[in-house]
Structure 1
Amino acid sequence: MSCLALFMVVLDATIVTVALPDMRAGLGLSTDQQQWVVSGYLITLGGFLLLAARAGDLFGHKRVFLFGAVLFTVASLIGGLASGPVVLIAARIVQGAGASALTPTSLSLITASHTDEREREHALALWSMMGGIAGLAGVVLGGVLTAELSWRWVLFVNIPPGIALIAAGLLFLLPPTRTERIRLDLPGGLCVTLGIGALTYGLSEASSEGWGSPDTLVPLIAAAVLIAGFLVAEARGSNPLIPLDLLRPRTLRIANVLMFCLGVTLTALLFFLSLYCQQVLGYSALRTGMAMLPVTVIFIVGGLTSRQLVPVVGPRRMLVTGGLISATGIAWLATIPTHSAYVPHILLPNLVGGFGVSIMLLAVTISGTSGVAPRNAGAASGLLNTSRQIGGAVGLAVLVNIASSVTSHGSDGEGRLDALVQGYRVAFLVNGGLMLVAALAALALPAVAVKGKAAEPLDDQTAPTRP
């Protein structure tokens, strides 16, 4: 059930990517609105993750899980029936809110139900691998559904599994045991969500309006004020979304930086590759989805490889290695020509980059959840997933800004497609540099103790406990 919930949440972050050209044609989406079909979902998903995670700790994971499943399913139906851009984007925003309730509770249910260390590692490996597979499966499934049915089915497809999750939650999840009245940090949740949204909007406006425009400066200033308000609320609140002692472990802090980088890569690569295949190479939605299929396979291989190697070499070495491999693959993508061949310019660099990312997911999840007190399990998992989604939303806005600026600058002296591809190249190059930074950041992880086949990070502040 936890893996199905995560699969749905991550799937919806990418399944619309291949359908964006058809959505644009059917509903008259502008370029900015296309980005917001993706970013709107990620912003509310990332912004409300902390609030939903804390709500699960305080009020019971069953209640929050069921609320998220219902909200996600209903929003999928409304989005699929949308008659205009506003309804579609609004439905995606509500979908993100529902997904924010599903994600941290799904991870918390795993950590709470698997008390044996070895069983927990197996469950975390499956959970992490499922997230990576879902992100790429969304591109394949989105292409098939868009080509064979219509773009609306990339949203309708959520309804059957959503109903299944609601039924399973009602039947199998234990009722909450907490009965005391506790005040939830709603102001903090709203501040961080609105702050991230304002930051992303400001960054997206910069490419078309310029950095000195009020349309750019006002939301960026608002974002700074809202995020500062969030930090004040956390410092002074009696029930903060992020307890201060949660941020003590160095392992957790570094893991969130790494997860932010992974969020950028997983979101931006699929976004730009989908547009490149359809707008530059002239691929259909179905062909674009099929072009991404081998990457799904490499994610499975990478996840299985990571499960075997992390206990032997430790999370730090796995993260450094994965970061270097992914940086190499993404830098390779930065060489794409206007008229490319599939194998050398798309397939091979994607396999290299995808493998590097896939072997990092389990290691960063283990690093971020080890040694956290049970009372803060939901908050820690929420923070980790927040970093991934915020990375996707903010990173996509920054890279779209960079690509658009390069394209606009080059369109005067080059053909339209050549200028478009040049923008994609620079975006890939910046993304590859970010993954190189992630590999260097992983070097700062604490030492790892290896005993037999089990490995756990030892933090300078908090040592992991064994059940």
Structure 2
Amino acid sequence: MALGLLRQRPRRRARRRPGPVRRHRLAPGRAPPARRPRSRDRHRRPPAPGLRADPGGRDRLDHAHHPGRAPRGPRLALLIGFWFVEKRAAAPLVPVHILRRRSVIWGNATGLIAFVTETSLVFLLTLYLQEVLGYSPLATGLAFGVLGIGTVLGGTLGGRAVGRYGTRATIVTGGVVQALATLSLVALGTSGGWIRLLLAATFVGGVGNMLMIVGFMVTATSGLPDEEQGLATGLATMTQQVGITLGIPVMSAVATARMTALGDTGPQGVLSGVSVAVLVNSALVLAGALLAGTFLARRRTDHPA
């Protein structure tokens, strides 16, 4: 039945054939008659201020009305004013003292690094598989299935590790594992046999990355009063979104800078750019693990000032 549905051709609407075009002979010096507005033209809304319709039917920004972006000074002043108002308020909307907690600050910093590095690594390895090894998009997606299995396993082990060894040990261990697995990808070459190293490294790195993420979530949301749990969870979610958004542009800029310096956009140039970006990625993960091990060393319950 499914094959029959796929083989059915979509029905086409009967198109109305246009009638013969009438040609008007104009006297010399006489302008052509004005076209009567159609009903749809009468009800069409004018373009918004600052937008000008181009001949293609799309609206584009009219820089004549908006020569520059909105100034950042007023926005920054409002943000600073909001900080001081919330700091002195008896019942603030956003208790700013939560940002003084060691667990919130360094827990979110660790989570930011975890999301920046792993999401950008997927982008870098996509370039490697498609531009260097010549993989199709489908084969590339299937290759990253191994990474998904590693993250599932890491998420399962993360909760147990936190309960047995604590958040600090879990974050540091996961960061070191992810950094070593990422560092091994620097050895990738142009031969198709290097796919084995890529699969093994992404699996191990996925396990380490999820250990960091589980430790980060527990650290950033623990030891807080009930009325601050929602705010801490919102900060952790924001950290996740910022990390996912920030990682790919940063690492792609590193890879592009390397390819531009070499003047080569072929397979060898892409491989060199990816290798440099992978090295930076690994160093960033290791730095995050060391920061977590240093600043999350003391276990104490911080009280708001």
Shared fold (TM-score greater than 0.5)? yes
Determine helix, strand or coil for the equivalent of 2:296. coil
The amino acid of 2:290's aligned partner reads: L
2:285 is aligned to: 435
Determine which structure has greater relative contact order: mean sequence separation of CA pairs < 8 Å that are 6+ residues apart, divided by chain length. Answer: 2
Q: Deviations over 1:356-399 (max 9, x none)?
A: 11112221111110122222222211111212221222232221
Residue matched to 1:299? 151
Matching residue within 328, 348, 351 for 2:180: 328
What is residue 84 of structure 2 aligned with on the other side?
A: 235
Any idea what the Cα deviations from partners look like across 1:343-367, whole Å, max 9, x if unmatched? 4431111122111111122211111
1:282 to 1:312, Cα distance in 2 relative to 1, 3 A = same
Indicate if the aligned counterparts of 1:330 and 1:353 stay in contact, CA closer than 8 A. Answer: yes
Give 1:271's aligned residue: 123
2:131 is the alignment partner of 1:282: no
Which blocks of at least 5 consecutive residues in structure 1 are unaligned? 1-85, 88-217, 449-457, 463-467
Give the aligned partner of residue 421 of structure 1.
Answer: 271
Q: 1:282 aligns to what SS in structure 2?
A: coil
Q: Which residue of 2 aligns with 1:361?
A: 213
Q: Which structure is larger by alpha-carbon Rg, 1 or 2?
A: 2
- Judged with a 3 Å threshold, the aligned counterparts in structure 2 of structure 1 residues 343 and 400 are, in CA distance, closer, same or farther, namely closer
Distance of 2:117 and 2:261 partners within structure 1: 25
The match for 1:384 among 236, 240, 243 is 236
- How far 1:342 sits from its partner (Å)? 4.4
Structure-2 separation of matches of 1:304 and 1:333 = 25
Q: Does 1:258 align with 2:119?
A: no
User: How much identity, in percent, do the aligned residues show?
Assistant: 29
Choose which of 409, 414, 419 in structure 1 pairs with 2:261.
409
Secondary structure of 1:332's partner?
A: helix
Paired amino acid for 2:178: S
Q: Deviations over 1:70-114 (max 9, x none)?
A: xxxxxxxxxxxxxxxx99xxxxxxxxxxxxxxxxxxxxxxxxxxx
Superimposed CA distance per residue, residues 401-436 of structure 1 (whole angstroms, 9 cap, x where no aligned partner)? 11111111112xx56221111111111111111110
Partners of 2:135 and 2:72 in 1: how far apart?
Answer: 38
Contact 2:181 2:204 (C-alpha < 8 Å) held by counterparts:
yes
**Could you list the runs of 5+ residues in structure 2 that have no partner in the other structure?**
1-57, 60-67
Partners of 2:252 and 2:277 within 8 A in 1? yes
Question: Could you tell me whether the CA contact under 8 Å between 1:333 and 1:346 is conserved in 2?
Answer: yes
Counterparts of 1:374 and 1:401 in 2: how far apart (Å)? 42
Cα separation, 1, equivalents of 2:92 and 2:278: 37
Assess if the C-alpha contact under 8 Å between 2:110 and 2:212 holds in 1: no
Paired residues, what number?
Answer: 235
SS in 2 for 1:459: coil
Equivalent AA in structure 2 for residue 434 of structure 1: L
Richer in helix (by share): 1
Per the alignment, in what secondary structure is the counterpart of residue 144 of structure 2?
Answer: helix
- Quick check: 1:248–1:461 contact (8 Å CA) kept in 2? no
Alignment of 1:335-374 (within 5 A): 335-374=187-226
Alignment-derived partner of residue 459 in structure 1: 301
Q: Distance in 2 between matches of 1:233 and 1:250?
A: 23
Distance 1:407 1:385, change over 3 A: same
Asked if the contact 2:179–2:282 (Cα under 8 Å) also holds between the matched residues in 1, the reply is yes
Asked if the contact 1:250/1:446 (under 8 Å) is kept, the reply is no
Counterpart in 2 of 1:22? none
Change (3 A) 1:275 1:311: same
C-alpha displacement of 1:222: 6.8
Q: Specify the code of the residue in structure 2 equivalent to 1:267.
A: T
Q: Given the superposition, is the C-alpha separation of residues 241 and 360 from structure 1 closer, same or farther in structure 2, using an over 3 Å criterion? A: farther
Are residue 315 (structure 1) and residue 167 (structure 2) matched? yes
CA deviation map 1:120-175 (0-9, x unaligned): xxxxxxxxxxxxxxxxxxxxxxxxxxxxxxxxxxxxxxxxxxxxxxxxxxxxxxxx
- TM-score, reference length from structure 2: 0.69
